[in-house]
Homo-oligomer: A and B are copies of this chain.
């Protein structure tokens, strides 16, 4: 058992997750989660995070709360854009937080040194430190969810870029005359392969009368067909769901081939519920990548599902605190 701990805090648009990560690496203990919208804004969230941290310390390190003495710091992941130098959330529109000095407020609330990075970078670092990326030096992580994000590690170092948005691959154009994206442009990767857009493509076929069980799986309401419904349909052997998944795989393959050509990493790690489709996703995805990426770059790169679906963010936030302290 480790003697010292780092509190990992993973702030997402849906949920805030808090847990204690051992300094030497390992699964977080005392995990606590809470729905973000019910926290009452940024100041409210700071209070709730303090309470969740207290609970985590009690559960993991003993009921008297003395365990706090062994918590050496706090790593926080938060949707961006952030000002990493000043520790400020500039404009996280899915949180509704703007110009909020998150690092300082949490440092006051928790009385510990704090590191802050964006959520996708934390998840990337978590997978690199203790997950699917652990055997590799250079890793790109692609996070598939409501949006598509990501992070880049080159030779063990997180690439932040000039404004902290390196690795944000969701709005990569893969078809410049293509599908309209919520961002206003056309043909972004996210316009095809985010969760809501997988669902949208599936609904389009169902509305056009294609033969499929997806409508039944969604309880008869076409608007209830989600990306998860598509995954369910794939597992149940529905051929239209398989077709939507195949198209998703090919489109992700295009985006990942681009990433491989530009960054030439040892591994691309895909994180998100859609990876539950397993071979139905990864086999055609790898085949599309093989078709499109440089042979030498493709041959050098493993494409793998993440191993820490729930906790990569908490683990990576804590890991980045340790790295910041060491470096």
Contact = CB atoms under 8 A, between A and B. Distances in A.
Contacts of A262: 152, 166-169, 172, 258-259, 262-263
B291 A258 contact: no
Interface string A142-162: 000000000010110101111
A187 interface: yes
A301 B261 contact: no
A138 interface: yes
B263 A166 contact: yes
- Count identical subunits in the complex: 2
A67 B81 CA distance: 54
A175 interface: yes
A250 B167 CA distance: 23
A264 B160 contact: yes
Contacts of A2: none
A206 interface: no
A165 B261 contact: yes
Contact of A264 (B164, B176, B187, B299): B164
B297 A266 contact: no
B254 A161 contact: no
A109 to B, nearest CB: 27
Given A154-B159, A174-B176, A175-B176, A166 B292 contact: no
A241 B168 CA distance: 35
B161 A263 contact: yes
Interface string A112-142: 0000000000000000000000000010000
Interface residues of A, number: 49
A294 B172 CA distance: 10
A257 interface: yes
Given A162-B264, A176-B174, A262-B166, A185 B292 contact: yes
A173 interface: yes
A265 interface: yes
A301 to B, nearest CB: 6
Interface string A192-231: 0000000000000000000000000000000000000000
Given A162-B297, A162-B300, A175-B187, 18 more contacts: A90-B296, A155-B157, A160-B264, A161-B264, A163-B300, A165-B294, A165-B296, A166-B263, A168-B261, A168-B294, A171-B292, A173-B257, A174-B175, A174-B176, A175-B175, A175-B178, A176-B254, A259-B262
11 contacts: A152-B263, A155-B157, A159-B263, A163-B300, A165-B297, A169-B261, A171-B292, A172-B261, A176-B254, A258-B262, A263-B263
